[in-house]
Each structure stands twice: as C-alpha cells, then as structure tokens.
C-alpha cells in the first residue's frame, strides 16, 4: 500500500532522473565526439609518427610480389649506410593506379617512395603527387648519362624536371624453344610447308606461321600471350607497332582503329587458335608457366622470362630457351620508376633510397636475378658478364647470356614507347577492355577498336584537347630526341 | 502492450484506475508527457546524429555530386550539369549491359537458391535431433569472407589443375574454361553465389518453419493432406512473410554483386561479368569520374528500392487458397 501523496513526487523524480540522464547524455555526447576524434588522430596520424621519427623508416609503395625483392636484398646495406630501415607496402599489380590516386588525392602520408609504371607519371605530375627530384641532386648524382636513352628523358622527366628514377626497364621479347627450332626434322618439315627456314620471326606473318606449325595440342601449343583483362592491350600494341601503327595522329585522332589497328587485332584474335584453350585466363604468371612447363613453343613475354627459363628451380626447359626481339618493333610496356611522394615526411631519405637502388653497381645486381622481375635500363647493364643474380652467381650459361643481352639490345633499338601522357591509364584501360572483348569474341576487331577510339576521343575532350595535343607532341619529341623512331 | 503502457502513464492498474492513487490534474499530466517526450528526443539524439552523419549526409552528398561534372583527375571546378549524368547513364550501352548482367545474376541466383534453400530447410526441419549442429555446419560457406571464397573458386575453376576439370576429364566430359569462356563465366559466378549463400536462405526458411505451430501441420495431416499438400498449402502460405524477407535480402545482396566479380573475373572475359556495381566501381575508382559514378549509384538505389517495395507488397498479401484460417482455434 502506497502513500497517495507519494504520487505528487513523480514529476520531480522524473525531472531529477531526466537531469541526471541529461548529464549522462552530455557525457556520452562528449565521448562520442572525443572517441572518433582520437581514433581519427591515431588512424590519420601516421604522418605524425613518421615526422617524429623521420630517419628511422622509409615506406615504399610497390606492386606486391617478386618486385619487392631488390629492396629486401639491399635493406641491410641501406641501414648500414644511412641508419634508416625500409617498410615495403605491396599493392596489387592490377589496381595499383586506382589505389594510389585514391590515397594520394587524400594526401596520404603512408608512402615515401612510390614505385609505379611511368605511364602513371603524366597524371601524377599534373596532380602534384610527386616531388621534383632535381632539388635533391646534392644528396647524390643519379648518373643519368648511363641510362639507356629510351628510359631517360621520355620516361623520368616531365616539363624539363626529373620526377623519377628508373627501377625496371621493361621490354617485350620473343622467347622460343631453341631445341625445337634447331631440330633438323622440324626444320625440314617447316621448310617444306612454308618454303623458308625455321628461324626466330622477323615479321608477324612469320610469327603466325611458326605458331601454327608448332601447334600440336594438347602436348604442345604454338604460342601464348597475355590475354586476360589488365594487360592484353600490350600484346595488341606490340603487333600494332610492328605493323607501323601510331597511338594518335598529330591532331589527337586515335590511331588504334586505323586499318593497321584492325589488322593487328585480327592477327591477335587469330593467334588464339594456336594457343592453350584457357588463353583468356593467361596473365603474367600464367604466361611464364606455359613456357616454363614446356607446353608452348614460343611466346612474347616481358624479357625477364629468360632468367626464369634458365633457372632449374623454376623451369623444365633449362638450356632450351632462345631469345629474340619482337618482329619489327618491341613494345616497352610497364617498366617501373621510383619517385618521392609529395606528401612524404621523409623526402631526403626517400630520395637517398631511390638514388641508391638505381646506382649502376647496385642495380646491376638485381636486373638479372630470376627471383625478381627487374630488367636492364642502363648502358652498364648490357654486358654479357653482368648476367648474375644478386649474390654474384651467373644466372645462365655464357651462350644464353650473350643471346639474351643481344636480344635486349636489338629490341631496344626498335623499342616502341608506352603511352605516357595525362590520362594514359584511362586510355590504356579502355583499350584493354575492348581488346579483351574482341579476344572473348563479343565484338569484332573493328567494332572493338572503333568503340575504344570513341572513348579515347571523349577522354581527350574531357582532359582538354589543346593540352593533350601539346603533351603528346612533347612526349613524342622526347622519344625522337632519344633516337627512337616514331 | 501500448495500451498497458498508457495505463501505467495514467497511473491505472491493469483493470482500471487505482483507487489508492490520485491521478494528476490535466496540466500536470501534460507537463509530464511533454517532459517525457523531450527526454525521449534527447535519448534519440545521438542515434539521429549518427544516422544523419552516416547515412543521410553521404546520400545527399552523393545526390549533389551526381548533378555535377566532377572528374577527380582533371583539375578545375565542379560544374553543375543537372540531370546530364543521369541522361548519360540511360544512354550508355555499358550501363544497360551491366544491368542485364546483374538481373541475369539476380534471377539465376534466386531461381537456384530458393528451391534449394527451401528443400534444405524442410530436410533440416524433419531432422529428429542435432538440427542446430547441422545448421551451423551448413552455414560455413556463408561465413567465409568473399576473398577466401574467391580464392577457393579460382582454384576449383582452374583449367589445368582444378579438381572440377580433373573430375570432368575422368568422366570424358571435356575441360571447360569456366571463367574464361564468355558464355560460362556468369553461370560460374552464379554457382559460386549459390554455394555461398544457399545456407543463408536455408537458415532463414528453417527459422520460419520452426516458428510455425506444430498443431497446424498435425491438423492438416488429420484432414488427410499429403506431404506435398502440407508444403504447398500450409508451409508456403504461412511462410510468405519470411520468404519475402529472404528474397528481398538476397535480391539486395545479389544486386550489389561486386566481390566475387572482382576476385574471380574482374568483369571479364571482355565485359561478360561486369555487373552494375562493378561498372560503377570502374567509373568511380578507375576513371575517377565521380559525378557519373554517383549518378549510377543513385540509379541503383532507386532500382533496388522499387524492387524491394514490389516484393514486400507481393508477400504481404494474405494467403490465397490456404485452408488454415489466420486465427485457427486449434
């Protein structure tokens, strides 16, 4: 039984409760503001951490996998020399561009050294993501005179300023089964069928003949190429270049859907007939695998495949590899450069690391190592006795090394540059998409290239046609000055 | 329940005003109610702020961005273009293609998952014991992360070394190039989703079956219903709300198809598996065409909302032809 008067207290009691609750509410509100703020400070405060310890760690962004290895091999030397450690941050090979742009647009301080393909450079310079490296030259001379011209000004410079240093000089190369090509029975059979000797192809028609000749599924496939989404465009451009195609006309009309372009893509689509059935799934490791397991007679692949062919731990065809430049011209897709992030809190050490990694005596120890994917980019690299791993052990026989280095030299003489103007990643991705559609049989080569060209025009329009025209002309000019025909 | 709370607020017992309490006057009651209401709003405030910050503001911001020509990689101001991005989307053949891919996927997933999920739920319901253990084991594919599922199926679909092709080769059924064949790639993805999410459907339907009073089934059996009639005329009508929820959830999840596309096919071969969500991602995060990507996102939101509304309306209809009344006096 309750005292009836007690009911009068209820409103006050409620108010009292409500006052206490309000106080609690305010505390909760304060906490709800403070906790995210603190969290934000912790999460976004990596830069602060780096700033507090500027000389202890240099953070390197790079596509994850074998290409991280040279930094690992040199980490102790760097530590002994300057006292800072390195922290490798591996990003996916396909998808690196979007991740970097997203983060650097948000002014991420997570990276000091950025390792990326030079076709990102146009965008990255335009968006002010990179530091001009000329300001750091006092810390060390990068010895650019030793760079092969194709990898110097057109690749690492923009508007007369140096924004990057080389890490990897890429080039497509023909790798073939020398044992099959030198087999007297095969040679006789080939000559009787095609009326000329079996030899590394000098034209794309010869390439198709050889691919057709050796196509004996399921034991041996004539050829294979990178047909998966991501880089299949490069295998199209490699043929396109050999047939005399150009990225754009001087007025920025796309050249890809020209007669030459359609012919090149038609050839690539036809090449599927002489390739493994899962060709549309074949990417970089897949392409290496089909040659290294001995199931394919000839491939076009990045030149580091040769190092893997001659490595018994990786290959079933050791000593059976032959190397030659691509027919007519060799496309130079990808490559890697090292740049210093504009948002790095540790730019001097970042430059020191990049500078050290590309020095002739340092870089020569990794550009011929089968455990990484880096390839020569200096004159001083192109020596037969330089073909050794990072421990100084020869990675192939002297004859194979001679064949390999000669093939690189010949390929570079007729190197075909990768598009590297503002918007290049988008131009290339669109091209890749439509080349892949043609390979998948969804579109004819002409329809695919016409569609890609339409999209290229809209990219040019969005970027500003006048600016694109000037950037393209400057880029071509840099290549011509480097002695590359275009 | 509400009635009872009202009584408490008025100082009434379960069967009317308490003779021992004097009820407060109208002014005092109004004051009390208004204080309580204010207090209620204070309690709601943090949630409202969080909701506004997490959902409403980003949504409104996305709507705003969708009306602008905003390309993140091209320096310059964001120009207001009204509905131009939406018009461009409606005229973009790749949008229609990716919508067709998405609808094909959603349709394929539902056609496979619903009967399989229902069948498994009925089997589970009939298990005399260990129902929870079996249900937990069934759930394993659902609780795996998308990247793990993707990795598993990359191996399983591998042309050369995949166990699937190995078994098919043993049976002389050929070796399909699953995710590399433009005609097989999307069905291959549907099968992955079927494997991953059917247990989820099973669990929802099983929970629905368990909530049904057993007397209803007993009564139907006493009345001479066959097992098929019990399923068709008792379970299905009574499960309609839960079926609706399950289908809506799966439609929404399948419509957002992204993760397994990203991991397994990257939209390829060509654009054979490029879903609307994946195409939006490409526009937004590969080409950084933020205005257009926002417009695509808003269009997807509208589409999913319409689909969900339609489905909800369909499943809210009273059961037709069911012989069990809603308030059966069993």
CB contact under 8 A, B28 and A1: no
- For A151-177, how does the pLDDT look when each residue is reduced to its tens digit (9 = 90+)? 999 999 998 999 999 999 999 999 999
Other CB atoms within 10 A of residue B302 CB: 10
Q: Is the pLDDT of residue B328 over 70?
A: no
| B288 assigned to some structural domain | yes
Do A247 and A230 belong together in one domain?
yes
Task: Tell me the C-alpha distance between A382 and A96, whole Å.
Answer: 30
Q: Are A198 and A210 in contact (CB under 8 A)?
A: yes
Per 3-state DSSP, chain B is made up of helix, strand and coil in percentages (nearest 5) of 70, 5, 25
What's the CATH number where A368 sits?
3.40.190.10
A7, A14, A278: residue with CB nearest B159: A278
B59 CB contacts (<8 Å, ≥6 apart)? B301
Task: Tell me the C-alpha distance between A3 and A9, whole Å.
Answer: 11
- Nearest CA distance, A169 vs chain B (angstrom): 25
Residues of chain B with a CB closer than 8 angstroms to some CB in chain A: 11, 20-22, 24, 28, 31-32, 35-36, 38-39, 42-43, 45-46, 49-50, 71-75, 159-160, 175, 177, 179-182, 265-272, 285-288
| A33 assigned to some structural domain | no
Do A71 and A125 belong together in one domain?
yes
A323 has which bridge partners?
A: A175
Task: Tell me the C-alpha distance between B310 and B316, whole Å.
Answer: 10
Do A291 and A365 belong together in one domain?
no
Q: Is the pLDDT of residue B4 over 70?
A: no
| A369 assigned to some structural domain | yes
Q: Are A435 and A236 in contact (CB under 8 A)?
A: yes
Please state, rounded to an integer, the average pLDDT across all residues of chain A. Answer: 89
Domain count for chain A, please give it: 2
The one-character DSSP state at A444 is -
Do A81 and A229 belong together in one domain?
no
- For A265-284, how does the pLDDT look when each residue is reduced to its tens digit (9 = 90+)? 999 999 999 999 999 989 99
| B39 assigned to some structural domain | no
- For B179-214, how does the pLDDT look when each residue is reduced to its tens digit (9 = 90+)? 988 899 999 999 999 999 999 999 999 999 999 888
CB contact under 8 A, A14 and B159: no
Q: Is the pLDDT of residue A301 over 90?
A: yes
pLDDT at A248: 97
Other CB atoms within 10 A of residue A358 CB: 24
| B208 assigned to some structural domain | yes
State which residues form the domain around A102: 50-169+336-394
Instruction: Please state whether beta strands A172-177 and A321-325 pair in parallel, antiparallel, or not at all (unpaired).
Output: antiparallel
Chain A CB contacts of B75 below 8 Å: 126-127
Q: Which helix (H) or strand (E) holds A332?
A: strand A330-332
pLDDT at A36: 41
- For A126-136, how does the pLDDT look when each residue is reduced to its tens digit (9 = 90+)? 999 999 999 99
From A280, which residue of chain B is nearest by alpha-carbon distance?
Answer: B180
A6 reaches B (C-beta below 8 A): no
| B48 assigned to some structural domain | no
pLDDT at B319: 52
| A295 assigned to some structural domain | yes
Q: Are B155 and B70 in contact (CB under 8 A)?
A: no
Do A190 and A295 belong together in one domain?
yes
Highest mean pLDDT among A376-390, B22-36, B50-64, B298-312: A376-390
pLDDT at B37: 87
- For A447-484, how does the pLDDT look when each residue is reduced to its tens digit (9 = 90+)? 999 999 999 999 999 888 999 999 999 999 988 888 88
| B231 assigned to some structural domain | yes
Optimal mutation site among A106, A124, A127, A278, interface B, most CBs of chain B within 10 A:
A278
A144 reaches B (C-beta below 8 A): no
Chain B CB contacts of A28 below 8 Å: 46
pLDDT at A344: 96
Per mean pLDDT, which range of A78-82, A375-379, B323-327 is the poorest?
Answer: B323-327
A293 reaches B (C-beta below 8 A): no
Q: Can you tell me the mean pLDDT for B158-173?
A: 90
| A305 assigned to some structural domain | yes
B71 has which bridge partners?
A: B289
Chain B contacts in chain A segment 28-47 (CB below 8 A): 28-29, 32
- For B45-82, how does the pLDDT look when each residue is reduced to its tens digit (9 = 90+)? 999 999 999 889 999 999 999 999 998 887 778 889 99
Chain B CB contacts of A278 below 8 Å: 159-160, 177, 180
Domain count for chain B, please give it: 1
Other CB atoms within 10 A of residue A64 CB: 13
Other CB atoms within 10 A of residue B249 CB: 15
What's the CATH number where B133 sits?
1.10.3720.10
Task: Tell me the C-alpha distance between A433 and A230, whole Å.
Answer: 8
Do A347 and A266 belong together in one domain?
no
State which residues form the domain around B277: 93-316
Q: Are A425 and A123 in contact (CB under 8 A)?
A: yes
- For B262-281, how does the pLDDT look when each residue is reduced to its tens digit (9 = 90+)? 999 989 898 999 999 999 99
| A45 assigned to some structural domain | no
pLDDT at A407: 97
| A383 assigned to some structural domain | yes
Distance of CA B95 to the CA centre of its chain: 22
| B68 assigned to some structural domain | no
Residue A33 pLDDT class (50, 70, 90 cuts): very low
| B138 assigned to some structural domain | yes
What is the percentage of chain A residues whose pLDDT exceeds 90? 82
pLDDT at B128: 86
Q: Are B209 and B125 in contact (CB under 8 A)?
A: yes
- For A5-26, how does the pLDDT look when each residue is reduced to its tens digit (9 = 90+)? 333 444 444 444 444 455 554 4
Do A362 and A438 belong together in one domain?
no
What own/partner pairs with CB < 8 Å and gap ≥ 24 does A75-78 have? A77/A356, A77/A362, A78/A352, A78/A353, A78/A356
Q: Tell me how many residue pairs between chain A and chain B have CB atoms under 8 A apart.
A: 119
Closest CA to A371 of A313, A321, A318: A313
Model confidence, pTM: 0.80
Do A223 and A122 belong together in one domain?
no
Do A192 and A314 belong together in one domain?
yes
Other CB atoms within 10 A of residue B259 CB: 17
| A400 assigned to some structural domain | no
Do A162 and A177 belong together in one domain?
no
| B168 assigned to some structural domain | yes
Do A280 and A155 belong together in one domain?
no
Do A128 and A259 belong together in one domain?
no
């Amino acid at each position: 039984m309750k005292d009836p008067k007690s009911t009068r207290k209820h409103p006050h009691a409620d108010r009292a409760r409500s006052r206490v609750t309000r106080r609690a509410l305010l505390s909760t509100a304060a906490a709800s503001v403070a906790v995210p703020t603190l969290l934000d400070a912790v999460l976004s405060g990596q830069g602060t951490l780096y700033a507090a310890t500027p000389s202890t760690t240099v953070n390197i962004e790079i596509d994850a996998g074998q290409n991280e290895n040279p930094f690992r091999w040199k980490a102790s030397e760097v530590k002994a020399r300057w006292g800072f450690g390195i922290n490798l941050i591996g990003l996916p090979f396909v998808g690196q561009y979007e991740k970097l742009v997203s983060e650097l647009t948000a002014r991420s301080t997570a990276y000091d050294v950025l390792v990326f393909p030079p076709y990102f450079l146009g965008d990255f310079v335009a968006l002010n993501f990179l530091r001009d490296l000329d300001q750091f030259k006092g810390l060390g001379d990068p010895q650019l005179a030793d760079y092969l011209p194709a990898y110097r000004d057109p690749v690492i410079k923009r508007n007369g300023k140096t924004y990057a240093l080389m890490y990897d000089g890429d080039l497509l190369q023909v790798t073939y089964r020398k044992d099959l090509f030198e087999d007297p029975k095969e040679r006789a059979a080939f000559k009787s069928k095609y009326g000329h000797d079996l030899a590394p192809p000098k034209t794309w028609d010869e390439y198709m003949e050889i691919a057709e000749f050796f196509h004996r599924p399921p034991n041996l496939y004539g050829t294979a190429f990178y047909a998966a989404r991501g880089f299949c465009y490069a295998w199209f451009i490699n043929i396109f270049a050999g047939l005399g195609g150009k990225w754009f006309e001087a007025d920025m009309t796309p050249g890809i859907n020209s007669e030459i372009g359609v012919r090149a893509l038609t050839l690539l689509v036809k090449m599927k007939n002489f390739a493994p059935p899962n060709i549309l799934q074949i990417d970089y490791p897949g392409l290496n695998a089909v040659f290294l397991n001995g199931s394919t007679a000839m491939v076009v692949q990045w030149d580091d495949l040769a190092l893997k062919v001659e490595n018994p731990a990786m290959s079933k065809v050791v000593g059976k590899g032959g190397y030659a430049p691509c027919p007519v011209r060799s496309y130079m897709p990808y490559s890697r450069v090292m740049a210093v992030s504009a948002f790095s809190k540790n730019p001097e050490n970042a430059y020191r690391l990049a500078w050290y990694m590309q020095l002739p005596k340092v870089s020569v120890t990794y550009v011929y190592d089968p455990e990484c994917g880096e390839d020569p980019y200096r004159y001083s690299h192109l020596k037969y006795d330089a073909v050794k791993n990072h421990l100084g052990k020869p990675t192939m026989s002297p004859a194979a090394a001679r064949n390999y280095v000669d093939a690189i030299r010949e390929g570079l003489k007729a190197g075909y540059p990768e598009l590297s103007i503002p918007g290049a990643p988008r131009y290339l991705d669109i091209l890749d998409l439509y080349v892949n559609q043609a390979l998948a049989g969804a579109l004819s080569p002409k329809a695919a290239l016409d569609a890609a060209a339409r999209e290229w025009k809209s990219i040019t329009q969005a970027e500003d046609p006048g600016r694109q025209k000037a950037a393209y002309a400057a880029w071509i000019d840099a290549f011509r000055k480097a002695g590359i025909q275009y | 329940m509400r009635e009872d709370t009202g009584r408490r607020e008025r100082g009434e017992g379960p069967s009317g005003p308490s003779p021992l309490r004097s009820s407060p006057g109208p002014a005092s009651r109004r004051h009390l109610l208004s204080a309580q209401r204010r207090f209620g709003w204070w309690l709601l405030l943090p949630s409202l702020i969080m909701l506004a910050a997490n959902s409403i503001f980003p949504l409104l911001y996305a709507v705003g961005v969708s009306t602008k020509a905003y390309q993140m990689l091209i320096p310059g101001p964001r120009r207001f273009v009204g509905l131009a991005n939406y018009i461009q989307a409606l005229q973009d053949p790749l949008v229609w293609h990716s919508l067709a891919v998405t609808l094909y996927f959603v349709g394929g997933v539902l056609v496979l998952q619903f009967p399989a999920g229902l069948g498994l739920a009925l089997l589970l319901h009939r298990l005399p014991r260990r129902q929870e253990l079996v249900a937990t084991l069934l759930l394993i594919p659902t609780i795996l992360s998308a990247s793990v599922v993707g990795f598993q199926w990359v191996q399983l679909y591998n042309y050369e070394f995949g166990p699937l092709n190995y078994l098919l080769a043993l049976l002389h059924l050929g070796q399909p190039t699953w995710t590399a064949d433009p005609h097989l790639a999307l069905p291959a993805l549907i099968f992955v989703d079927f494997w991953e999410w059917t247990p989820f459907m099973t669990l929802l339907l099983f929970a629905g079956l368990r909530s049904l009073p057993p007397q209803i089934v007993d009564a139907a059996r006493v009345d001479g219903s066959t097992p098929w009639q019990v399923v068709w005329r008792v379970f299905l009508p009574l499960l309609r709300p839960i079926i609706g929820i399950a289908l809506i959830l799966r439609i929404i999840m399948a419509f957002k198809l992204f993760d397994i596309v990203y991991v397994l096919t990257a939209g390829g071969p060509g654009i054979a598996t490029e879903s609307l969500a994946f195409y939006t991602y490409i526009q937004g995060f590969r080409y950084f065409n933020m205005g257009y990507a926002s417009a695509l996102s808003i269009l997807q939101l509208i589409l999913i909302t319409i689909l969900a509304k339609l489905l909800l309306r369909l499943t809210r209809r009273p059961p037709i032809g069911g012989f069990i009344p809603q308030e059966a006096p069993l």
